[in-house]
Amino acid sequence: MASIIGGITTSHVPAIGRAIARNLQQEPYWKPFFDGFVPVRRWLGEVRPDVVVLIYNDHGLNFFLDQMPTFAVGAAPAYRNADEGWGIPTMPPFRGDPALSWQLIESLAGEDFDLTTCQEMQVDHAFTLPMALLWPDQDWPVRVVPVCINTVQAPLPSATRCWKLGQAIGRAVASWRGAEKVLVLGSGGLSHQLDGERAGYINRDFDLKFMASLLDDPTWACRFDTRQLVEQAGTQGVELLMWLAARAALGRQVRQLHANYHIPISNTASGLMLLEPA
Catalytic residues: 125, 192
Which of 117, 228, 108 shows the shortest CA–CA distance to 166? 108
Pairing of strands 254-262, 270-277: antiparallel
CB-based contacts of 219: which residues, under 8 Å, 6+ apart? 160, 163
Q: Tell how far CA 206 is from the center of its chain.
A: 19
| Cα–Cα dist 25/248, whole Å | 32
Inter-residue contact 77 to 98 (CB < 8 Å) = yes
Question: Which phi and psi angles does 7 have, rounded to 5°?
Answer: -135, 140
257 preceded by a cis bond (ω within 30 of 0): no
Which of 189, 163, 192 shows the shortest CA–CA distance to 250? 163
Residue 264's region, left for phi above 0, alpha for psi from -120 to 50, else beta, is beta
Which of 222, 223, 154, 147 shows the shortest CA–CA distance to 188? 147
| Cα–Cα dist 108/168, whole Å | 6
